[in-house]
Structure 1
Amino acid sequence: MQTSQVKSPWLWVPSLYFGQAIPYVVVMMLSVIMYKANGISNTDIALYTSWLYLPWVIKPLWSPFVDMFRTKRFWIVGLQLLIGAALGLVALTMHLPTFFQMSLAVLWLMAFSSATHDIAADGFYMLGLRQQHQAAFVGVRSTFYRLGMLAGQGALVFLAGQLTERTGDVRFAWSVVFFVLAAMFLALCVYHHFMLPRPAEDHAVTKGGNPLGEFFATFGAFFRKREIWLILGFILTFRLGESQLLKLAAPFLMDPVAKGGLGLTTSQVGVAYSTVGVIALTLGGLLGGYVISRLGLKRCLWLMVLAVHIPDLVFVYLASAQPQNFYLICTSLALEQFGYGFGFTAMMMYMIMVAEGEHKTAHYAICTGLMALGMMVPGMVSGKIQEILGYQHFFIYVCLMTIPAFIMAALVKIDPEFGKK
């Protein structure tokens, strides 16, 4: 026991967050590109893939039970096994006549497992590291999360594009991609079974024999937090613009120039958005974690809010000019993604700050569930809005949707010392 408790965080923090990214990026981006490549409309893509956020939205409803039963370590390893199996099942649906409906159903089940895994992983992070190390490793965790996105999104989107071009079979190409993802996730499951530490604090959190009472007490404690309405407003609006841009970014890149897009192939999207963009996102996250650790969250907040939202103007430019220079497109996407990666670190640290207390695992899950709600609902209607407005006006509308985040940033209260080393 003692030996496992002193394992270096470098042996498990990078791999834990690398693994956490994979199923989430499948829902966030891979499903969008896959369905676009199969000819599904923007309206249907945005609506139905936004429903895949639902497990992350409602995960606070069962997050107290992750606290109350078994260890976070048990949840992490067991759920990684289930997620790997689900990714394999998605691959098997590709050639079914009703693949769209069947793949969505399996992806929703995978998303449920992934959301529960996130509860356990985030709680394990806070239990396994002291607070000063949490701030120091927030950039590391963010970086390896982005590397997970790069592995599960960039290279595999490129692979899907290459296989499609060589075989002419879109569904075969994507079935290979999902089998590779399944193998990757099952390998992580085996690794974590042996390498995750066993901190003494990782145990079921119960005070008596009334689980239902403790469930409501955990929720009540969160919503009794001081200035809860500012907390809710900040979390729900921080990604209001991004939630809609994210659903339409890949379709915009893939749609032909005549329809207002940039006409990139699947392989080119894999390079430009899913590789160059994710690398820039990763570098931005690293820098964001470092800056917060040196200056504290309060002093960095406005800089980071600006960094998240101002680069959305890049998409206004791309939709207006429709440049065909691939290097210019890559540079533009890198700029937008670097700013987002840098600024989003503020939200991660803010949620950790809000979650501090006895039920930090459940309270952090509530925060992330609220953030997912702020992503899901606007995302559901974004496809229809884009088809009405066209890409150029849609991206202008997205920029206007960032205004509430600036208002909430002016109102929210931050501990001046939080996040500093």
Structure 2
Amino acid sequence: MKDLLIQKNKNLFFSMGIYLFIFFVIPFLYHLFNPDAFITQFQGTNDFSSLIYVFILLALMLLSYNLASLKLPRVKLPTIMFNSKLVLVLLLLFIMTSIYFYINFSFKFRHTGEGLTAAGNDIIILSLLKIFFKTYLFISLVYFLKTERVFGDRYVYLLIGLSFWLSKSGSTDLPMIFVAIIFALKKQSFLVKPIKARRYKLKIFNNFSVRIILLLFLGFGVVFMGFANKLGFEKAQEVFFSEEGLPRVLNSTTLRLSTHYASNFGAYKAYEEGSYAITDAIPGTWNNMYSRAQYLFSGQAVERDRVWSINRANYLNLFNDHYKEKTGASPGIFASIYYTNNLFLGLLLIGLYIFVIIKILKVSLQLNTLKLNLAGYIVCTLFIIPLFESPFDNINIFNTSFVYLYFTTIPLLKINNDKSLKITPV
């Protein structure tokens, strides 16, 4: 492992590159060649002024990557990630709530539009458990990259995959099932570049063409599940297998991938106009934290503000048709600068956030680690994306985005800095 130093390893660099390419470069090119599609769906896309700030933050991101040191601070904050008994209890709860979800809701939950609060505490708990075990899979990947060992037993990952399958409610659940199965089968070689003397029994997973085929199937599944999430399975099948289906699928998928890119236009426009969806975003997010706390501890629902989260504010600023009462849309890392209602403060805070997150990820993914392959870069990208979706929504500690941030960064800091950390299999 000593020869696998950071100078020879670009795990984070390529994973971040995939993230930026999919969510910003492709949308930018599509915007240039098909501006009418953007004008029809998104607000403010005929004014490219906001891209100046995107390039500023891109430069800050690259600078952060190159300047971030390899030392991380020690933390004493608690995490249950390495407590095998607690993880087992949570896993059993995850299985039970997933079975409950499958029996009572199944895949209909998301596209019927029912909110979490309306569905009850069981579904709120399930949502939090899904976030926790998503971070568990990410920490498992990082731990494997650094030690070539897995800190969960096979049956743990098998049950995690089964629970994600039973509780699937969107396209992002499929990759989690995929990763869980890889760890359950102990075929992590699918995600890393081969090293001399590496001993894996199932050689088929080291075959590049097999990896590409599996990734294509996974990509198709993610896109199909995205349509099924909105339309239902039958409608999605009609769209995918009709004569005019392919152009519609490509257009719709590209526009869905463009929300972070397009958010820069809508949020910039709203910021310039002094819209309430900018001025009320942070206060509404803060107030919503207290509302959720009251609901969780007393069971009494509290009427929330008209803008209760950054995601809700961004949804109002992003789409031309924003008639849905409970819908949100994450702004992405770049458009988040506008939601402080002070552009300089937004640039400062988001720039600092980028530096801290990249510093943690750089040490975790590139210092004395195995090298990921293309499949590994893609999987790693999926785990990185939530950290850059809506940083200011982390103000609300009862938000799933904060849960993901906490249970990702704290365990990573402990893995990298706590030499006395002992991890026993569940």
The answer, yes or no, to whether TM exceeds 0.5 is no
Q: Which TM-score bucket, shorter chain as reference?
A: under 0.3
TM-score by length of 1: 0.28
Structure number with greater CO (CA < 8 Å, separation at least 6) is 2
Q: Which has the higher helix share?
A: 1
TM-score by length of 2: 0.28
